[in-house]
Amino acid sequence: MAGAGQVQWSSRMAFMFAAVGSAVGLGNIWRFPYVAGENGGSAFILLYIGFVFMIGLPVLIAELSIGRRSGKSPIASLGAIAKESKVNKRWNLLGHLGTFGGGLGLLSFYSVIAGWVMSYIIQGASGAFVGIDAEGALAEMDTFTGSAGTMTFWHFLFTAITVIIVGKGIKGGLEKAVTYLMPMLFLILLLLLGYSLATGDMEKTTEFLFTPDFSKINGEVALQALGQAFFSLSVTVGTMLAYGAYLPKDISIHKSATLIATADTLVALLAGLAIFPLVFAYGLAPDSGPSLIFKTLPIAFGQMPGGSFIATMFFVLLTIAAITSSISLLEPTVAYFEEKFNMTRWRAALIGGGTAFIVGLMTVYSSNDAKEFLPLAFMGLETIGTKVANGGEIMLGITYATGDIMPAKLATMGNVIDFGVSSIVMPFGGFLLAIFVGWFVSRDSMRDEMGLPEGGVFEIWHVLIKFVCPIALAWVLVMGLM
Residue 103 or 407: the one with the smaller Cβ distance to ligand PFF is 103
Instruction: Classify burial at 214, counting beta carbons within 10 Å of its beta carbon; exposed 0-12, middle 13-18, buried 19 or more.
Output: exposed
Q: Report if residue 28 touches ligand PFF, rule: CB under 6 A.
A: yes
Q: Which residues contact 124 (CB under 8 A, 6 or more apart)?
A: 301, 308, 311, 312, 314, 315
**Candidates 19-27, 139-147, 172-180, 311-319 — which segment interacts with ligand PFF by CB under 6 A?**
19-27
Among residues 26, 247, 281, 464, the one that binds ligand PFF under rule CB under 6 A: 26
Q: Report if residue 329 touches ligand PFF, rule: CB under 6 A.
A: yes
Among residues 8, 19, 25, 49, the one that binds ligand PFF under rule CB under 6 A: 25
Q: Is 218 left (phi over 0), alpha (psi -120 to 50) or beta?
A: beta
Residue 82 or 329: the one with the smaller Cβ distance to ligand PFF is 329
Residue 76 or 394: the one with the smaller Cβ distance to ligand PFF is 394
Q: Rounded to an integer, what distance in angstroms lies between the CA atom of residue 438 and that of residue 58?
A: 10
Smallest distance, Å, CB 114 to ligand PFF? 9
Q: Report if residue 23 touches ligand PFF, rule: CB under 6 A.
A: yes
Q: Report if residue 390 touches ligand PFF, rule: CB under 6 A.
A: no
The site for ligand PFF, by CB under 6 A, has a size of 16
Q: Report if residue 73 touches ligand PFF, rule: CB under 6 A.
A: no
3-class SS of residue 397: coil
Nearest of 293, 354, 369, 357 to residue 140 by alpha carbon: 293
**Candidates 83-91, 114-122, 234-242, 280-288 — which segment interacts with ligand PFF by CB under 6 A?**
234-242
Q: Helices H, strands E: what count in the chain? A: 24, 0
**Candidates 21-29, 122-130, 403-411, 449-457 — which segment interacts with ligand PFF by CB under 6 A?**
21-29
Among residues 9, 51, 91, 231, the one that binds ligand PFF under rule CB under 6 A: 231
DSSP state of 475: H
Q: Report if residue 424 touches ligand PFF, rule: CB under 6 A.
A: no
**Candidates 41-49, 249-257, 321-329, 414-422 — which segment interacts with ligand PFF by CB under 6 A?**
321-329
Instruction: Classify burial at 401, counting beta carbons within 10 Å of its beta carbon; exposed 0-12, middle 13-18, buried 19 or more.
Output: exposed
Q: Rounded to an integer, what distance in angstroms lies between the CA atom of residue 330 and that of residue 93?
A: 18
User: What string marks each residue from 237 to 256 as x (binds ligand PFF by CB under 6 A) or -?
Assistant: x-x-----------------
Q: Rounded to an integer, what distance in angstroms lies between the CA atom of residue 33 and that of residue 287?
A: 10
Q: Which residues contact 380 (CB under 8 A, 6 or more apart)?
A: 407, 408, 409
DSSP string, 188-249: HHHHHHHHHHHHS-HHHHHHHHHS--GGG-SHHHHHHHHHHHHHHHT-SSSHHHHHHHT--T
Among residues 70, 328, 368, 412, the one that binds ligand PFF under rule CB under 6 A: 328
Smallest distance, Å, CB 239 to ligand PFF? 3
Q: Which residues contact 255 (CB under 8 A, 6 or more apart)?
A: none
**Candidates 139-147, 192-200, 233-241, 250-258 — which segment interacts with ligand PFF by CB under 6 A?**
233-241
Q: Rounded to an integer, what distance in angstroms lies between the CA atom of residue 455 and that of residue 466?
A: 15
Residue 260 or 411: the one with the smaller Cβ distance to ligand PFF is 260
Q: Rounded to an integer, what distance in angstroms lies between the CA atom of residue 97 and that of residue 105?
A: 10
Q: Report if residue 366 touches ligand PFF, rule: CB under 6 A.
A: no
Smallest distance, Å, CB 229 to ligand PFF? 10
Residue 31 or 462: the one with the smaller Cβ distance to ligand PFF is 31
Residue 47 or 452: the one with the smaller Cβ distance to ligand PFF is 47
CA dihedral 41, 145, 98, 423 (to 10 degrees): 50
Task: Determine phi and psi for 152, rounding to 5 degrees.
Answer: -65, -40
Contacting positions for ligand PFF (CB under 6 A) = 22-23, 25-28, 103, 106, 231-232, 234, 237, 239, 325, 328-329
